[in-house]
Amino acid sequence: MSANFGAGFHVLPGRAVDPAAYDRFTGRWSRLFIPALLGAAEVAPGRRVLDVATGTGEAALMALPIVGASGFVVGADISPAMLKAARARLNEPLFWPVAADGQALPFRDANFDCVICQLGLQFFPDPSLGLAEFRRVLRNSGRVAVCVISSPDRAPMWSILADAISRFRPTLRNILYLSFSLGDHTRLEALLGGAGLREVRVERETREAITESFDKYWEPIEAGIGSIPQSYLTLSDEERRAVREEVRDRLSRFESDGKLLMSVEMLIGRGRA
- Could you report the per-residue pLDDT of 80-90, keeping only the tens digit for each? 888 998 999 99
212 burial (CB, 10 Å; 0-12 / 13-18 / 19+) is exposed
Distance CA 269, CA 212 (A): 31
pLDDT digits (tens, 9 = 90+) for 155-168: 999 999 999 999 99
The predicted pLDDT at position 192 comes to 98
Alpha carbon distances (Å) from 188 to 86, 128, 147, 271:
28, 10, 10, 11
- Summarize the confidence of residues 169-194 as an average pLDDT: 95
pLDDT given for residue 22 in this prediction: 80
Q: Which residue has the higher pLDDT, 11 or 247?
A: 247
pLDDT value at 273 more than 90: yes
Q: Integer distance in angstroms from the first to the last C-alpha of the chain?
A: 46
Q: Which domains does the chain have, with CATH numbers?
A: 17-272 (3.40.50.150)
Q: Band of the pLDDT at 9, cuts 50, 70, 90? A: low
C-alpha to C-alpha distance for 144 and 268, rounded to whole angstroms: 10
**What phi and psi, each to the nearest 5 degrees, are found at residue 260?**
-105, 120
Q: How confident is the model at residue 226 (pLDDT cuts 50, 70, 90)?
A: confident
pLDDT (mean) for 169-177 = 92
Predicted model pTM: 0.93
Number of C-alpha atoms within 13 angstroms, CB side, residue 12? 12
Residue 246: pLDDT over 80: yes
Q: Look up residue 42 and give its amino acid.
A: E
Q: What is the pLDDT at residue 18?
A: 72
Q: Could you tell me which residues are beta bridge partners of residue 209?
A: 262
Query: What is the spatial distance between Cα 179 and Cα 152, in angstroms, rounded to a whole number?
Result: 9
Is the pLDDT at 203 greater than 70? The verdict is yes
Q: How confident is the model at residue 47 (pLDDT cuts 50, 70, 90)?
A: very high
Mean pLDDT check: name the lowest of 112-121, 220-229, 240-249: 220-229
On the question of pLDDT at 20 being above 80, the answer is no
Q: Provide the pLDDT confidence category of residue 16 given band limits of 50, 70 and 90.
A: low
pLDDT in tens, 99-112: 999 999 999 999 99
Q: What is the pLDDT of residue 81?
A: 85
Rounded to the nearest integer, the mean pLDDT of the chain is 93
The stretches of the chain forming alpha helices (DSSP H) are: 19-22, 28-30, 34-40, 58-67, 80-89, 127-136, 156-168, 173-176, 185-194, 214-223, 227-232, 237-251
